[in-house]
Amino acid sequence: MDLLKGKTGLVLGVANHRSLAWHIAGACSRAGARVILTYQNDRLGENVRELTKGLQDAMTFPCDVTDDDDLAALAQFVGENAPKLDFLVHSLAWARREELEGEFLTTSREGYREAHDVSVYSLVALARLARPFLRAGGGGSVLALTFHGSQRVFPGYNVMGTAKASLEAAVRYLAHDLGPDNIRVNALSPGPVRTLAASGVKGLVRMLDLYRQRAPLRRAPDPAEIADAALFLLSHLGRGVTGEILYVDGGYHLTAV
């Protein structure tokens, strides 16, 4: 129950109550952690602040990860409120809707750049931002969220597939850089869950059906199962694990036909 007692974490990517970041933040809070939640913009802020009232000692702060001024302001906020940080959760991704349909071949230069900037470079920037605060706490855990579209073709996932492949490589490079500071860097790779981001991917309903039919566990993951796997990697239970991609997909990635 008290896996994260006395710990403080920064969680990025809550848009609403369906967000995987929200499920993870809730699990961390129930496990005893104090969490700082960020939200992308004012439009989402009100809802996130309202949700956060349900978490003990939680704080919120705005941050658009493509804006260097926002990142600098976040660093200052963390310095003032959580100079000893224990974990960071990066649960965000974005691509233009038109890049998530039709052929990958038609991906535009700008669409490719934006998707990788928001969904991948932000992990590098945030890990750099968090490093001194994690170091001050004697080390810590960084967790990103990826998807199997990085390794296999899911028609329509398109530019997010290349972004997630890059994200997974970034996890390994960051794990190498930050390991000597006792900072671990891992990613969860969940199967499909109905969220705002997932609704932008064509064929979500069919994908959920396929997971129910073919995954060894005969289901797509429940958000609570994803949050539990996050707790493992964020807590001392995962202390020997870094640079790893942990699938929480009912085993779907094992299947061929």
Ligand X SMILES: NC(=O)c1ccc[n+]([C@@H]2O[C@H](COP(=O)([O-])OP(=O)(O)OC[C@H]3O[C@@H](n4cnc5c(N)ncnc54)[C@H](O)[C@@H]3O)[C@@H](O)[C@H]2O)c1
Binding pattern to ligand X, positions 78-117, x when CB under 6 A? -------------xxxx-----------------------
Q: How far is the C-alpha of 152 from the C-alpha of 31, rounded, in Å?
A: 34
Nearer to ligand X, 64 or 244 (CB): 64
**Binding flags for ligand X, 31-70, as an x/- string (CB under 6 A):** ---------x---x------------------xxxx----
Counting every residue written for the chain, the total comes to: 257
Task: Return d(Cα 172, Cα 209) in angstroms, integer.
Answer: 32
For 9, phi and psi rounded to 5 degrees? Answer: -135, 155
User: Catalytic pick from 7, 164, 211, 247?
Assistant: 164
- Establish if 156 lies at the interface with ligand X (CB under 6 A): no
Nearest to 251 by CA among 225, 224, 214, 207: 214
Provide, rounded to whole angstroms, the least separation between the CB of residue 6 and ligand X: 27
The rounded distance, in Å, linking the Cα atoms of 77 and 133 is 11
Could you tell me the smallest distance in angstroms from the CB atom of residue 138 to ligand X? 28
From the list 82, 118, 126, 233, which residue makes contact with ligand X (rule: CB under 6 A)? 118
Tokens of 76: 């200052």
Catalytic-role residue among 157, 211, 247, 252: 157
Q: Please state the closest distance from residue 243 (CB atom) to ligand X, in A.
A: 18
> Site for ligand X (CB under 6 A): how many residues?
27
Other CB atoms within a 10 A radius of the CB of residue 107 amount to: 18
What whole-number distance in Å separates Cα of residue 102 and Cα of residue 96? 13
40-43 long-range contacts, CB within 8 A, separation 24+: 40/15, 40/64, 40/65, 40/92
Q: Which of 4, 9, 13, 126 binds ligand X (CB under 6 A)?
A: 13
Does residue 217 touch ligand X according to CB under 6 A? no
Catalytic residues: 157, 164
- Contact residues: ligand X, CB under 6 A: 13-15, 18-21, 40, 44, 63-66, 91-94, 118, 145, 147, 190, 192-193, 195-198
